């Protein structure tokens, strides 16, 4: 009997230790780290769906004529209803080189601004310019956008357009205060596969989109010396986190209707130890690489209000093929661009006009090249129907740069909302500061601010605008 009682007591003790207590069961929920969301100033209103009066002619001034600027000037010479009024760069020889682009195109010379770090301000102050196009280093983007809008100009700015939360909120507030367009020049949303896939998604081919993926994976070792005053390598040395997220974020956010029916709630980031770039600095440049901050590979996971997820990656250090890792995963199908373009669909999602035989069509493998080509032809986006041939001739990353510029001018000329607004700019750029916060707090979740300040559900679904 004693042995039985002893055994029962021992069992009870072990059972009580093994089972979690009620307190453990009700463990406190970990809340994301929050950053300050400033109250919208009195009298200021959002710019969701912003339209401005039609322009027969869009008068443009360019700031920054180094790596990206000359290509933009060249592309603009192919756009109708555009006057290139001014060219600005710190280095006068770059202005002269772009004057030659205008001369070759049979266009009048533009007013040149150079020789001073503030020369761009004089250009922004001119009353005969409608649009300022910025292609400088990241550190100058925000102040240039803000100054241009304050002087009555619409703004288009290269990526990433802002690097800190203070900059992002200042740009958002200036756009709302002035009611001027402020667009980030994210070209990857116009790539042919991405735009076709977006059209398919909007027509329900993939069912309900639950997950999107994107990245910027590009070994930049051979390019580091091309950046004026070494600004880009220095930025990587001084900053941790995903500092170049927009190429992956843009297509993913458009697929998921971010701030047009859904919003990003929080993110978690993780990175690996930086090795390759510090070794390059030490062994090739013979310089001190102590304190290098940007991880070799940075990964970010984002969850939205509607329970959908986004995976973004950044790696400019590793010797691996270029990739934006574009993926779209839905309840009825899947799209993937890198390393192999392909679609995987349930048979019910492909009609007889694509293939009459659905017997061997399932989502366990990619559809055949023949079916893929037929899908891309059937769902070619209206923008590509109009512009694909011209875009490939003009060029710029295979034509997507030209389409980006064309759509900007088209929307301004027709008084339409731009394809990308200032909230897109804010959401796609905020990964730089927010991932840094997560990483510095052991990959803790960090809340993504609602840059629309409560209006994220005002517009129902992302769509490109067209003149009637």
Q: What is the pLDDT of residue 66?
A: 95
Q: What is the pLDDT of residue 347?
A: 72
pLDDT in tens, the chain (468 residues): 555 455 545 444 444 445 555 555 567 889 999 999 999 999 999 999 999 999 999 999 999 999 999 999 999 999 999 999 999 999 999 999 999 999 999 999 999 999 999 999 999 999 999 999 999 999 999 999 999 999 999 999 999 999 999 999 999 999 999 999 999 999 999 999 999 999 999 999 999 999 999 999 999 999 999 998 999 999 999 999 999 999 999 999 999 999 999 999 999 999 999 999 999 999 999 999 999 999 999 999 999 999 999 999 999 999 999 999 999 999 999 999 999 999 999 877 776 666 645 445 566 789 999 999 999 999 999 999 999 999 999 999 999 999 999 999 999 999 999 999 999 999 999 999 999 999 999 999 999 999 999 999 999 999 999 999
Q: Is 460 exposed, middle or buried (0-12, 13-18, 19+ CB in 10 A)?
A: exposed
Q: How far is CA 117 from CA 92, 199, 384, in A?
A: 12, 43, 39
Q: What is the pLDDT of residue 328?
A: 98
Query: pTM above the 0.85 mark?
Result: yes
Distance from C-alpha of 247 to C-alpha of 325, rounded to nearest angstrom: 10
Distance from C-alpha of 189 to C-alpha of 208, rounded to nearest angstrom: 20
Q: What is the pLDDT of residue 350?
A: 73
Distance from C-alpha of 362 to C-alpha of 42, rounded to nearest angstrom: 55
Task: Read off φ and ψ for residue 438, nearest 5 degrees.
Answer: -60, -50
Are 405 and 45 contacting, i.e. CB atoms less than 8 angstroms apart? no
Residue from 132, 314, 287, 307 nearest 216 by CA: 314
Three-state SS letters, the chain: CHHHHHHHHHHHHHHHHHCCCHHHHCCCCCCCECCCCCCCCCCCCCCCCCCCCCCCCEEEEEECCCCCHHHHHHHHCCCCCEEEEEEECCCHHHHHHHHHHHHHCCCCCCEEECCCCCHHHHHHCCCCCCEEEECCCHHHHHHHHHHHHHCCCEEEECCCCCCCHHHHHHHHHHHHHHCCCEEECCHHHHCHHHHHHHHHHHCCCCCCEEEEEEEEECCCCCCHHHCHHHHHHHHHHHCCCCCCCHHHHHHHHHHCCECCCECEEEEEEEECCCCHHHHHHHHCCCCCCCCCCCCCCEEEEEEECCCCEEEEEEECCCCCCCECCCEEEECCEEEECCCCCEEEECHHHCCCCCCCCCCCCCCCCCCCHHHHHHHHHHCCCHHHHHHHHHHHHHCCHHHHHHHHHHHHHHHHHCCCCCCCCHHHHHHHHCHHHHHHHHHHCCCCCEECCCCCCCCCCCCCCCCCCCCC
Distance from C-alpha of 415 to C-alpha of 409, rounded to nearest angstrom: 10
Q: Are strands 58-63 and 82-88 parallel, antiparallel or unpaired?
A: parallel
């Amino acid at each position: 009997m004693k042995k039985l009682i002893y055994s029962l007591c021992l069992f009870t003790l072990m059972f009580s230790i093994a089972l979690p207590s009620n307190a453990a069961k009700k463990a406190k929920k970990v809340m994301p780290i929050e950053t300050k969301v400033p109250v919208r100033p009195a009298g200021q209103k959002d710019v969701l769906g912003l339209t401005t009066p039609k322009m027969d002619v869009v008068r443009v001034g360019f700031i920054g004529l180094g790596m990206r600027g000359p290509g933009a000037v060249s592309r603009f010479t192919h756009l109708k209803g555009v006057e290139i009024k001014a060219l600005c760069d710190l280095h006068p020889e770059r202005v002269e080189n772009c004057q030659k682009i205008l001369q070759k195109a049979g266009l009048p010379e533009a007013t040149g601004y150079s020789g001073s770090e503030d020369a761009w301000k004089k250009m922004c102050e001119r009353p005969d310019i409608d649009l300022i196009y910025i292609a400088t280093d990241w550190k100058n983007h925000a102040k240039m956008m803000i100054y241009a809008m304050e002087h009555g100009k619409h703004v288009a700015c290269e990526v990433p357009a802002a690097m800190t939360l203070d900059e992002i909120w200042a740009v958002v507030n200036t756009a709302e205060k002035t009611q001027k367009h402020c667009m980030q020049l994210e070209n990857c949303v116009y790539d042919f596969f991405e735009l076709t896939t977006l059209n398919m998604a909007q027509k329900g081919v993939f069912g309900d989109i639950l997950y999107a993926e994107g990245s910027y994976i590009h070994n930049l070792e051979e390019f580091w010396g091309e950046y004026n005053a070494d600004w880009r390598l220095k930025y990587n040395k001084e900053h941790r986190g995903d500092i170049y997220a927009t190429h992956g974020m843009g297509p993913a956010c458009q697929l998921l209707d971010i701030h047009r029916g859904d919003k990003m709630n929080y993110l978690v980031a993780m990175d690996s130890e930086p090795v390759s770039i510090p070794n390059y600095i030490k062994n090739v440049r013979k310089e001190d690489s102590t304190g290098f901050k940007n991880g070799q590979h940075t990964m970010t996971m984002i969850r939205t209000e509607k329970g959908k997820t986004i995976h973004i990656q950044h790696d400019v250090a590793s010797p691996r093929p270029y990739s934006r890792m574009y993926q779209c995963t839905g309840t009825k199908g899947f799209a993937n661009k890198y390393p192999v373009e392909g679609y995987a669909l349930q048979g019910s999602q492909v009609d007889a006009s694509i293939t009459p035989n659905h017997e061997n069509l399932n989502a366990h493998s990619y559809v055949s090249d023949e079916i893929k080509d037929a899908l891309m032809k059937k769902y070619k986006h209206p923008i590509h129907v109009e512009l694909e041939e011209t875009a490939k001739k003009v060029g710029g990353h295979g034509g997507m740069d030209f389409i980006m510029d064309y759509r900007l001018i088209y929307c301004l000329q027709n008084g339409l909302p731009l394809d990308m607004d200032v909230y897109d700019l804010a959401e796609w750029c905020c990964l730089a500061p927010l991932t840094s916060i997560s990483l510095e707090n052991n990959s803790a979740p960090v809340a993504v601010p609602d840059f629309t300040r409560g209006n994220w559900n005002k517009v129902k679904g992302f769509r490109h605008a067209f003149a009637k």
